[in-house]
Amino acid sequence: MTKQHIENLFEKGLLTEDRYHLLLEIQSKKVFSVYYELRTLLYLGVLLFSTGVGILIYNNIGQVGHYIALLLLLALTVGCMVFVLKRQDPFTKSHWESPSPYFDYALLMACLLFVIDLGYIEFLFGWFTGHLSIISLVTSLFFFYLAYRYDHQGVLSLAITALASFWGLAITPQRWYDFDFFEEPSLQWVAVAFGAGLFAGALILKRRGIKPHFATTYLNFGVIIAFFGSSSLMFNGHEGNYGIAVGQIVAAAALAFFSIRQKTVLYIIYAYIFGFLALTYLLAVNLDTFDIFFWLFYLIAVSTGFIVVILKLRKRFKHDS
Amino acid sequence: MLAYKKTDVEALANWQLAKTLKKDGMLVDGADLSELEAASTLYHPGYFMRILLFVVGLIGVSGGIGMFFFMFQDALAEAWQVLFLISGAGLLVGLEAVFIKNLKHFKTGLTEVFLFGGLLMLGFGINGDNDNHLSRTFFVMAVLCALAAIRYTNNVLVAASLMFVVAGLMAIAERSGPMVTNLLPYMVMLIFSGGYAISKRLENNAALRIWENQINTLQAVCLALVYAGGNYFVVRELGQSLRGIYLEPDENIPFAWLFYTFTAIIPLIYLYQGVKTRSRIFIWMGLAAAGFSVFTFKYYFSLGHPEITITIAGVFLLAVAIYFLHSLKTLKKGITRERVSAANLDFLTAEALLISQTVGSTSQPHQKDLLGGGGFGGGGASGNF
């Protein structure tokens, strides 16, 4: 943003005089916003602190002062929650601006500490042994409530992750690279169903107008989990792989159409990657050819064809710009 | 120098800024941007489209290069260097002729695939199979990247160009022995301080405003490299690998105290400078450098409890953030904790007007220009033709 740009907009009558002057003040740094800087510090602070405390307690487990540590931790969690609860605005279905700059971070801290609390209590008293999946479910429901009540997408992600672990799905980046994040094969179908469920749930909630801006988070989780599940089935399974590969191609095509209807390119990225993967798998298994010329031609043809089509459609993606 | 028409790039920038401001609610109600949109003829999609085109383009271009090498595989043994040079040049020509001249693509993801791919292939071709003149390759690449960065207004290539300069210096140091390796940190600090000084002069040049982002990138990377050149961890570890030696924990690098001082002081200087001159680049670089300095000192003087450090660092960051959020509740010397958007516009506007009346004699001339100037009424037409 340079002075000339602002002057140009003002000359075109797009800026009122007040705002024109304000923008000039911002451009010349007479008005200087440290909004993002301070928020980054808060966010890093919350992450570092909760991680540090988590490791601290884990490393010192079995030493004196357990109960004091637990009490301190609980007090901190409750403190954060009280801070959040003190600012009660009525629930709204649409987007809600948080009332104070600390609000979102206090809530996030409370949630991260809550998980550590549970782990610590489990270690000390063993109350939850044998019921760990129930604890995941309860945590998840609690986080879902908080996410909707206080409009927090970060807590929503935590809730979805907890819900996934209730179903036995571990969503950790380390296990993704080799399609091996399922402890047993049956979980792959669970992943597909869970992902599809998230997808459907997001669409229903969006249609009902309940926090429609949450939909993107749900859809991202849903699409990625479902496609990783089906890709894992495709590569690791024994029978019926063709069906799964064809199914993945059909799902990818459907997702691409959905993306076009939503006027965004985002889901086409997933659709292309996983559709391309399934198509390549199908060809590789069926054609059984090692002709380099064929495969190079295949790469060029598919990419070029796709680019030509997507550029033809480019006017439709209004939401991205 | 520019691959595009200057007016096209300007028109795009105007439209993009107007769109952002409209989203923030800064424009007048019902502002009509169709005129700006029509004036902007370059194709510059949003992030998702650029990611998609980059991924698909990368797959396709890899296939294309593979096909090219496959067709000339007989020549591969004797003249692979030539094949690399031809394919690199081919990608750049394709970029210019098809995507820029014909399809008017401006940073679409596809342009990046062809640009980076072309430069990479040229780099391999220039280097050949003789690693003895690695430094020459790096310096040639630095120049090529710099030229391409200017021609296509590309931030990544600004950074790449500077990294190639560093790589070239390192290659020289590696060949020339310990004497030069020991001098390398000072050279890096000196050269990129100079680079920063140059970028500072460029910044104020109105004729270069199309390259505003590239000049900012130049500043940021120069600051990062000056810090890296003085950072004890970088100097010690990189020095060891360049000289192919191993230092025992109780051995030290020459002038270790100096590098410890740099490591401690440079982040503070950056932060001070950032706050004093209200430079976002200095603030962010200062924060990042401070984090890396903590890591550096912990790495060599650790008491073996990283979790305590992490916890304390978290508390410290929270304390700093809360302190500033609290003290900037009201505007202090024009610094605000609020986002600049329509939501808190009244607050900001009132304050800004107050400032411009009390402090700002510099903003007065523009106001006078606009009120008195004749070009105001017909401004809509004069801007773009």
Mean pLDDT along residues B331-356: 65
Residue with tokens 């390759």: B137
Minimal C-alpha gap between B132 and chain A (Å): 34
Choose the most confident range, by mean pLDDT, from B31-40, B128-137, B210-219: B210-219
Q: Which of B333, B341, B41 is nearest to A19 (CA)?
A: B341
Mean pLDDT along residues A46-74: 81
Query: Can you give the length of chain B in residues?
Result: 385
CB atoms < 10 A from the CB of A52, how many?
21
Q: For position B249, what pLDDT does the model report?
A: 82
Mean pLDDT along residues A179-203: 81
Mean pLDDT along residues B249-254: 84
pLDDT tier at B371, thresholds 50, 70, 90:
very low
Is B366–A29 a contact, with Cβ atoms under 8 angstroms apart?
A: no
A72 touches chain B (CB under 8 A): no
**Considering only residues 277 to 306 of chain A, which have any Cβ-Cβ distance to chain B shorter than 8 Å?**
292-293, 296-300, 302-304, 306
Q: Which residues lie below 8 Å from residue A243, measured CB to CB, with a gap of 6+?
A: none
Better-predicted residue by pLDDT, B232 or A56 = B232
Is A44–B317 a contact, with Cβ atoms under 8 angstroms apart?
A: yes
Percent of chain A with pLDDT over 90: 46
A chain contacts of residue B55, beta-carbon cutoff 8 Å: 269, 272-273
Residue B358 has pLDDT above 90, yes or no: no
Q: For position A69, what pLDDT does the model report?
A: 79
HEC profile for chain A? CCHHHHHHHHHCCCCCHHHHHHHHHHHCCCCEECHHHHHHHHHHHHHHHHHHHHHHHHHCCCCCCHHHHHHHHHHHHHHHHHHHHHCCCCCCCCCCCCCCCCHHHHHHHHHHHHHHHHHHHHHHHCCCCCCHHHHHHHHHHHHHHHHHHHCCHHHHHHHHHHHHHHCCCCCCHHHCCCCCCCCCCHHHHHHHHHHHHHHHHHHHHHHCCCCHHHHHHHHHHHHHHHHHHHHHHHHHCCCCHHHHHHHHHHHHHHHHHHHHHCCCCHHHHHHHHHHHHHHHHHHHHHHCCCCHHHHHHHHHHHHHHHHHHHHHCHHHCHHHC
pLDDT mean across residues, chain B: 86
Is A321–B46 a contact, with Cβ atoms under 8 angstroms apart?
A: yes
Is B383–A296 a contact, with Cβ atoms under 8 angstroms apart?
A: no
What ipTM score was computed for the predicted complex, to two decimals?
0.89
Mean pLDDT along residues A242-260: 94
Q: For position B115, what pLDDT does the model report?
A: 97
Residue B341 has pLDDT above 70, yes or no: no
Is B334–A317 a contact, with Cβ atoms under 8 angstroms apart?
A: no
> How does pLDDT run across B34-79, given as a tens digit for each residue?
888 898 899 999 999 999 999 999 999 999 999 999 999 888 888 8
Mean pLDDT along residues B115-129: 93
Which chain A residue has its CA at the smallest distance from B47's CA? A320
A308 touches chain B (CB under 8 A): no
Residue B200 has pLDDT above 60, yes or no: yes
Minimal C-alpha gap between A222 and chain B (Å): 18
> How does pLDDT run across A218-230, given as a tens digit for each residue?
999 999 999 998 9
A48 touches chain B (CB under 8 A): yes
**Considering only residues 193 to 212 of chain B, which have any Cβ-Cβ distance to chain A shorter than 8 Å?**
206, 209, 212
Is A272–B70 a contact, with Cβ atoms under 8 angstroms apart?
A: no
Is A35–B340 a contact, with Cβ atoms under 8 angstroms apart?
A: yes
B chain contacts of residue A31, beta-carbon cutoff 8 Å: 331, 334, 336, 340, 348, 351-352, 355
Residue A196 has pLDDT above 50, yes or no: yes
B chain contacts of residue A269, beta-carbon cutoff 8 Å: 48, 51-52, 55
pLDDT mean across residues, chain A: 86
Amino acid at residue number B381: A
| Nearest-CB residue to B48 (from A24, A269, A304) | A269
Give the Cα separation of B251 and B247 in Å (integer). Answer: 6
Mean pLDDT along residues A203-208: 94
pLDDT tier at A62, thresholds 50, 70, 90:
low
| Nearest-CB residue to A296 (from B63, B356, B376) | B63
Residue with tokens 């129930």: A134
Q: For position A57, what pLDDT does the model report?
A: 78
Minimal C-alpha gap between B238 and chain A (Å): 28
The mean-pLDDT minimum among A60-74, A170-184, B284-298 falls in A170-184
